[in-house]
């Protein structure tokens, strides 16, 4: 059975060689919203602090908060991209992440080669990669462009392939950062239909969004993050009456 358990999870970003005042001011200006402290010549950004929650099969968690509140950082911790320095994190279940959909793609490789490479990175066998390729072909509608290096693609074509790759494998635990913001209208319709099916297939969903309607549509639990801390948590019904 899928589950996620965070117990006092905390994450610090060390920034070395940040002794100059001008660099410190720049860091403060672009900081992720976490708290900044000085450790000699090192500046540390407290990106997450004492995060506690537990999710079980059927839970759909929405992460909300202003830019830099720690939402995307927490998703990356759950995905295993960042390792928390403090606390305990338990993730049981195959994790599928839609964070940076183009992550790991090789611009010099063809579309088909990138399908194969992404499949290998996610632990699929050659037979499994072959089985999902027709679905990616159908969704992207790239035709013979899949035989060309992706560095020749337009941004819209690259988005189609990257999104098709990221949503080709049925998830157990699904992590979604707000990634579907551009593209032509027909692609947007297909992408949202695909996301809906993807969410329906998942056991656990963790979703970040600035759009309240998205949170209210897909989630049953909401966590409000501020400066890397949990400011509020509750049901989506309670969230509907909350001002952020």
For the stretch 47-105, pLDDT in tens is 999 999 999 999 999 999 998 899 999 999 999 989 999 999 999 998 888 877 666 78
Fold designation for 3-93+207-239: Rossmann fold (3.40.50)
On average, the pLDDT of the chain sits at 86
Q: DSSP readout, 191-236? A: HHHHHHHHHHH-SEEEEE-S-HHHHHHH-SEEEEEETTEEEEEEEH
pTM of the predicted model as reported, rounded to 2 decimal places: 0.80
pLDDT band at 41 (very low <50, low <70, confident <90, very high): low
Long-range contacts of 125-133 (CB under 8 A, 24+ apart): 132/168, 132/169
* Residue 205: exposure state from Cβ atoms within 10 A (0-12, 13-18, ≥19): buried
For the stretch 181-214, pLDDT in tens is 555 667 777 888 888 888 899 999 999 988 898 8
Domain ranges of the chain: 3-93+207-239, 111-202
- Sign of the Cα torsion 8, 90, 168, 112 reads positive
More confident site: 161 or 40: 161
pLDDT band at 26 (very low <50, low <70, confident <90, very high): low
In the prediction, which pLDDT does 27 show?
46
In the prediction, which pLDDT does 38 show?
56
């Amino acid at each position: 059975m899928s589950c996620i358990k965070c117990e006092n999870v905390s994450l610090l970003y060390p920034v070395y060689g940040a002794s100059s005042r001008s660099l410190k001011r720049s860091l403060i200006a672009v900081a992720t919203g976490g708290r900044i402290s000085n450790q000699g010549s090192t500046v540390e950004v407290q990106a997450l602090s004492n995060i506690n929650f537990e999710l079980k099969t059927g839970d759909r968690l929405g992460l909300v908060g202003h830019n830099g509140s720690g939402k995307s950082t927490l998703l990356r911790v759950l995905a295993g991209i960042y390792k928390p320095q403090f606390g305990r994190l338990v993730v049981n279940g195959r994790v599928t992440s839609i964070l940076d959909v183009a992550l790991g793609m090789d611009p010099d490789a063809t579309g088909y080669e990138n399908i194969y490479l992404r499949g290998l990175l996610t632990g699929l066998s050659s037979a499994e990669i072959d089985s999902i390729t027709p679905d990616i072909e159908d969704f992207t509608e790239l035709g013979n462009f899949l035989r060309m290096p992706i560095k020749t693609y337009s941004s819209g074509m690259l988005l189609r392939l990257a999104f098709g790759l990221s949503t080709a494998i049925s998830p157990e635990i699904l992590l979604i950062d707000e990634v579907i913001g551009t593209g032509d209208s027909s692609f947007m319709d297909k992408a949202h239909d695909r996301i809906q099916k993807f969410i329906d297939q998942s056991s656990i969903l963790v979703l970040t969004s600035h759009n309240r309607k998205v949170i209210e549509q897909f989630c049953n639990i909401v966590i409000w993050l501020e400066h890397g801390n949990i400011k509020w948590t509750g049901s989506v019904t309670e969230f509907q009456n909350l001002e952020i």
